[in-house]
C-alpha cells in the first residue's frame, strides 16, 4: 500500500513508482508490544512525576503559608486604616456593578467563558 | 468505555472519531490510531534512516510522544500530518546528534563503491547518500506525496530551498540508481 495520495508539484514518475514499490507492509505484532511497554513506562513515570509535584507543592505551601497570611492580614489592616470609606463604596449599587464588571473581565481573560 | 469495543468496530470507525476519543484520553482509541498509522510512520523513518531498528526506535518515540501530547491537537483531521511532523522532528533530532553527512555534489561517486555494494544498492542506500535535508525533502515529496509548500511548512525551509533540494536530489537519486544498474529506473 502506498501513501502517495496527492501530488501538486512536478515529480519524476519513475522515482514515484520506485518509492511506491519500496513501501513495505511491515509486521506489527512486535512493534505494538514494544510500544505498549513504552507507553506503560511513560504512564508510570508521569504518575510518579505528579506525586512528586503534589508533595513539593504541599511542602512549599506549608512553608510559605504563614508569611502569606501574615502579609495579607497586614495589607487588610492597612487598607482598613487608611481608607475606611471603601466598605461603604463596595456595598453601594455602583460599587456592586463595578465589582461585577471586574469579575466578568477576569473570567474573560482566564478564558472561562469560552465555548469548548 | 470504548476499551471493550470489538476489533471490527474499531476497524469500521472513521479516523476523526477515533482521534476525538484519543484526544479525550481514550487509550484504546489511541492504540487503534497506532495500528492504522504505524506502517506509514515506520516506512517513512526507514526511508530517512536506512536502518530498520533505528527507524522502529524513532517510531516508538513518535507514538509515545503522540500519546502524551494528543490533547494539544487542535484539529482531529490534522492527526496524520501532526504525527508525521513528530516523526520528522525525532529523526532530525537524531540526525543532528550524529556526524554530519556528505554535502550534495560531494557524495560517494559510483566508481568508489565496491562491486558487492553496487549490486545490492537499493533505494534506501541511494537515499542515504543524499545530504540530510535533501533526503528529507525527497522522501516527503515522493514517499509521502507532500507538495513543495507543505514540505516547506513542515520543515521550516524556504520554498525555494525545498524546490532546489527536490530538483537536485531527484537528479542525483536517478543518477545513483542508474549507475548502480538498478533495473527499475531507466
Report the CATH architecture of B102-186.
Orthogonal Bundle (1.10)
Look at residue B1 and tell me whether its pLDDT is greater than 50: no
Q: What percent of chain A has pLDDT over 90?
A: 22
Task: Indicate yes or no: CB of A6 within 8 angstroms of CB of B145.
Answer: yes
- Domains in chain A: boundaries: 13-84, 85-116
The pLDDT, as a whole number, for residue B4 is 63
The distance of B60 to chain A (nearest Cα, Å) reads 6
In this complex, is the C-beta atom of A35 within 8 Å of any C-beta atom belonging to chain B?
yes
Nearest to B32 by CA among B16, B17, B11: B11
Q: Is the pLDDT of residue B6 over 60?
A: yes
pLDDT of residue B140: 94
Contact A19 B142 (CB under 8 A): yes
pLDDT given at position A87: 67
For position A71, what pLDDT does the model report?
Answer: 87
Long-range contacts of A99-107 (CB under 8 A, 24+ apart): none
Q: For residue A32, what is the nearest residue in chain B, using CA coordinates?
A: B35
ipTM of the complex, rounded to two decimals = 0.72
Rounded to the nearest integer, the mean pLDDT of chain B is 82
| pLDDT of B3 above 60 | no
The minimal CB distance from A15 to the residues B47, B148, B174 is found for B174
Residue B48 has pLDDT above 50, yes or no: yes
With 60 as the cut, is the pLDDT of residue A48 above it? yes
Instruction: Give the pLDDT confidence of B111-166 residue by residue, as tens digits.
Output: 444 443 443 357 888 898 899 999 999 999 999 989 999 999 999 999 999 999 99
Q: Which chain B residues are Cβ-neighbours of A14 within 8 angstroms?
A: 174, 184-186
Instruction: Tell me the pLDDT of chain A averaged across its residues.
Output: 81
Determine the longest span between alpha carbons in chain A, in angstroms: 86
Closest CB from B42, B60, B123 relative to A22? B123
Going from N- to C-terminal start, the domains of chain B cover 1-98, 102-186
Contact: B38, A4; criterion CB under 8 Å: no
Residue range A34-52: mean pLDDT, rounded: 91
Rg (CA), chain A: 31
Gap between the Cα atoms of A62 and A60, Å rounded: 5
Q: What CA–CA distances, in Å, run from B50 to A33, A43, B38, B114? A: 23, 31, 17, 18
In CATH, what is the architecture of B1-98?
Orthogonal Bundle (1.10)
B158 near B99, Cβ under 8 Å? Answer: no
- Residue written as cell 505528579? A50
CA–CA gap between residue B120 and residue B160 (Å, rounded): 34
The whole-number average pLDDT for the span B34-51 is 92
Give me the DSSP letters along B18-86.
Answer: HHHHHHTT-HHHHHHHHHHHHHHHHHHHHHHHS-HHHHHHHHHHHHHHHHHHGGG-S-GGGHHHHHHHH
Return the percentage of chain B with pLDDT > 90, whole number.
Answer: 56
Among A12, A19, A26, beta carbon nearest to B174: A12
Winning range, highest mean pLDDT, from A14-28, A99-113, B84-98: B84-98
Contact between B70 and B30 under an 8 Å Cβ cutoff? The reply is yes
Amino acid at each position: 500500500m502506498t501513501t502517495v495520495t496527492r501530488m501538486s508539484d512536478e515529480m519524476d514518475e519513475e522515482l514515484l513508482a520506485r518509492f511506491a514499490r519500496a513501501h513495505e507492509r511491515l509486521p506489527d505484532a512486535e512493534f505494538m508490544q514494544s510500544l505498549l511497554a513504552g507507553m506503560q513506562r511513560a504512564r508510570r513515570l508521569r504518575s510518579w512525576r505528579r506525586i512528586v509535584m503534589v508533595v513539593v507543592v504541599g511542602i512549599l505551601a506549608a512553608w510559605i503559608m504563614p508569611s502569606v497570611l501574615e502579609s495579607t492580614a497586614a495589607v487588610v489592616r492597612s487598607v482598613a486604616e487608611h481608607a475606611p470609606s471603601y466598605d461603604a463604596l463596595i456595598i453601594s449599587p455602583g460599587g456592586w456593578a463595578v465589582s461585577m464588571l471586574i469579575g466578568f473581565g477576569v473570567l474573560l481573560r482566564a478564558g472561562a467563558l469560552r465555548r469548548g | 468505555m470504548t476499551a471493550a469495543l470489538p476489533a471490527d468496530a474499531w476497524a469500521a470507525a472513521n479516523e476523526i472519531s477515533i482521534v476525538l476519543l484519543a484526544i479525550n484520553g481514550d487509550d484504546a482509541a489511541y492504540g487503534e490510531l497506532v495500528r492504522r498509522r504505524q506502517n506509514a510512520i515506520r516506512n517513512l523513518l526507514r526511508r530517512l534512516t536506512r536502518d530498520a531498528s533505528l527507524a522502529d526506535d524513532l517510531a516508538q518515540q513518535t507514538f509515545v510522544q503522540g500519546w502524551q501530547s494528543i490533547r494539544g491537537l487542535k484539529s482531529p483531521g490534522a492527526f496524520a500530518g501532526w504525527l508525521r511532523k513528530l516523526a520528522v522532528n525525532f529523526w532530525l533530532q537524531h540526525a543532528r546528534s550524529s556526524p554530519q553527512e556528505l554535502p550534495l555534489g560531494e557524495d560517494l561517486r559510483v566508481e568508489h563503491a565496491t562491486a558487492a555494494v553496487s549490486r545490492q544498492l537499493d533505494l534506501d542506500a541511494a537515499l542515504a547518500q543524499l545530504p540530510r535535508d535533501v533526503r528529507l525533502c525527497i522522501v516527503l515529496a515522493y514517499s509521502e506525496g507532500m507538495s513543495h509548500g507543505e514540505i516547506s511548512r513542515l520543515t521550516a525551509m524556504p520554498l525555494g530551498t525545498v524546490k532546489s533540494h527536490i530538483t537536485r536530489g531527484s537528479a542525483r537519486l536517478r543518477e545513483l540508481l542508474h549507475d548502480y544498474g538498478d533495473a527499475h529506473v531507466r
